[in-house]
Amino acid sequence: MRSLPDTCSKQAINYNTAASGGDCVLTLNAVANNYNVLDWIVWSYAADPTSGEVKVVDTTNNTTLLSMDVTVGGPGQIVFGDRGLVAPKGAALEITMVDGNTTKKLSVQSR
């Protein structure tokens, strides 16, 4: 049976921004015998994106955990609830806002 991450773990908020022409990426490094857990993702495109997307990839196991098209500029969010989005044990995560040909901002809360 897989144990759940401690919901009282210290939370961290990471932030990044990128100009048009490049993806906006946040990386959560792998920690041996531990889980990366996302509580929420908040993003903003400065204008309506062209082929905008928010995705979460387990880079340790090369697995996409979340992929969501974003078609409208402005803010958006995903809240994962009390349990959070739990990566496999010992996995690194890469959270990406695909370019979309506009300026973009990305924030995540993790534990």
> Is 65 domain-assigned?
yes
Tell whether the model's pLDDT for residue 5 goes beyond 70.
no
> Is 3 domain-assigned?
no
Which residues lie across from 58 on neighbouring strands?
63, 93
> Is 45 domain-assigned?
yes
Task: Report the pLDDT value the prediction gives residue 11, as an integer from 0 to 100.
Answer: 84
> Is 56 domain-assigned?
yes
Tell me how many domains the chain contains. 1
- pTM for the model stands at 0.89
Per-residue model confidence as pLDDT tens digits over 31-62: 889 999 999 999 999 999 999 999 999 999 99
| Block residue for tokens 């897989």 | 2
Distance CA 8, CA 63 (A): 27
The CATH number that applies at residue 97 is 2.60.120.380
Q: Is residue 94 classed exposed, middle or buried when 0-12, 13-18 and 19+ CB atoms within 10 A define those classes?
A: middle
- Write the single-letter amino acid at 110: S
Task: Report the pLDDT value the prediction gives residue 69, as an integer from 0 to 100.
Answer: 97
Gyration radius of the chain's alpha carbons = 14
Length of the chain: 111
> Is 41 domain-assigned?
yes
Domain extent for 37: 12-110
| Block residue for tokens 């048009």 | 20
> Is 23 domain-assigned?
yes
Task: Report the pLDDT value the prediction gives residue 6, as an integer from 0 to 100.
Answer: 55
Residues 6+ apart with CB under 8 A from 7: 82, 83, 111
Distance CA 45, CA 79 (A): 18
Better-predicted residue by pLDDT, 11 or 105: 105
Task: Report the pLDDT value the prediction gives residue 84, as an integer from 0 to 100.
Answer: 95
Tell whether the model's pLDDT for residue 1 goes beyond 90.
no
Q: What percent of the chain has pLDDT over 90?
A: 86
> Is 43 domain-assigned?
yes
Average pLDDT in the 8-35 region? 90
